[in-house]
Structure 1
Amino acid sequence: MVRGVVFFDVDGTLVPGTSSGQHLAELLGHAAVVRDAEAAYSAGTLTNREVSVIDAEGWAGHSPAEVRGFLESMPLVGGIPETVAWCRDNGLLPVLATLAWDIVGAFLCDRFGFDRACGPRLALVDGRYSGQVTEHFDELGKRDFAIAVAEEIGVPLARCAAVGDSRSDLPLFGTVGLAIAFNATPAAQTAAHTSITGNDLRAVIPLLSTGLL
């Protein structure tokens, strides 16, 4: 029986000190462009739609299999499999609520057992990325995704938690019953119910245990 849902952010939370977008851009050859675009998003001068359009151009001509291979070397915090297992053992559904590309969320779901993920989608033509975005996603979409998941599962949002670190988590933090800022920006810490730092995701388990169980 599912007692609640825990929504985990990816970039800056599961992927420490950088983002999945920057990691992939390094290997795809457009790192500087993505770094500048993501900095502008963090500063509030670009929307995630604008960042996605900029980033997508650098994917043109590459295949999903090639990108999935690049994801194998993506840096991740420790303790992800253990935290996912703890959630499931305690009736909490682990879900990715992220603005990372859909292939990133799918990779992490397959690798660690997250139930599902959201995120923007890239267009494919003849099995290769075209450099266009087919589905945009922003911080409000992330919040709405979480609301829809909770409704589908049949649990109140008061029985849901979000673990995140930055601007894209703020609307979701204001919606769930427990918002945990993990290695977060000052704005995210202010918006959260509680904050913690560390290099292992298992640090959030006592907070989830106290707040949801």
Structure 2
Amino acid sequence: MVRGAVFFDVDGTLVPQTSSGQHLADLLGHADVVREAEAGYAAGTLSNREVSVLDARGWAGRTPAHVRDFLESLPLVDGIAETVAWCRRQDLLPVLATLAWEPVGTYLCERFGFGHASGPRLEVIEGCYSGEVAEHFDETGKRDFALGVAAELGVDPARCAAIGDSRSDLPLFSAVGLAIAFNATSVARSAAHAEADGGDLRAVLPLLSRWLHAHPHIDVSGRPAD
């Protein structure tokens, strides 16, 4: 029986110091475009939709198999498999709530055992990416995706946790019972209930464990709640 879910961000959280989009763009040959676009998103001058459109153009003519090969070299923090396994032992479904492209989420689900993944989709025509976006996905979509997963599981969002690092995680942080900022920006830290840092995802496990076993009037930090 599933007692809740833990939603993990990808870029900046599982993928440290860069993004899956930037990593793939480096290999696909449009790194400068994505670097500028992601900087614009971080600064609030570009929407996620605008970034996706610019990035998608660089995928034109490539096959899903080609991109899958590139994902084998995706930089990742340590401890992902162990953290996923811990969640499952606690009857918590590990889920990817991310703005990363659908092939990234699919790859990480298959490699580590996450139950589901969100994300925008690229158009494929005759076996190749066309350079167009088939389905956009933004930060409110990330929250709505997570709430949909919770509803399908029949669990209260208050029994779910989210782990992320940036402003795209804020809507989801406000919707769950525990929000953990991991290697996060100041904006994400200020919106989270707890924070952790380091190169190993297992740094979040004490926070998750404390939250699971806390008495109702004790918050995740172990301090009496106001």
TM-score by length of 1: 0.99
* Identity rate, percent: 73
Between the aligned partners of 1:29 and 1:151, the Cα distance in structure 2 is: 40
Larger Rg: 2
Moved over 4 A (4+): none
List runs of 5+ in structure 1 lacking aligned partners.
none
- 2 CA distance for matches of 1:185 and 1:128? 36
In 2, Cα distance between the equivalents of 1:152 and 1:69? 33
Q: What is the deviation of 1:212?
A: 2.4
Paired position in structure 2 for 1:183: 183
Aligned to 1:22: 22
- Correspondences of 1:192-207 after superposition (within 5 Å): 192-207=192-207
Mapped to 2, the partners of 1:209 and 1:39 lie a distance apart of: 35
User: Using the alignment, how far apart are the partners of 1:175 and 1:140 within structure 2?
Assistant: 11
How far is the alpha carbon of 1:167 from its aligned partner?
1.1
Aligned to 1:56: 56
5+ residue gaps, structure 2, are: 214-226
In structure 2, C-alpha distance between the alignment counterparts of 1:7 and 1:112, rounded to whole Å:
14
Provide the aligned length of Structure 1 versus Structure 2. 213
- Superposed CA deviations along residues 12-63 of structure 1, whole A, max 9, x for unmatched, are 0000000000000000000010011001101111110000000000000000
> 2:45 — aligned with what?
45
3-state SS of paired residue (1:199): coil
1:94-113 paired onto structure 2 within 5 Å: 94-113=94-113
Letter in structure 1 aligned against 2:74: M
Q: Where does residue 36 of structure 2 map in the other structure? A: 36
More RCO (CA 8 Å, sep 6+): 1
* 1:67 corresponds to: 67
Distance in 2 separating the partners of 1:111 and 1:13: 17
Q: Which residue of 2 aligns with 1:2?
A: 2
Would you say the 8 A contact 1:160–1:212 is kept in 2?
Answer: no
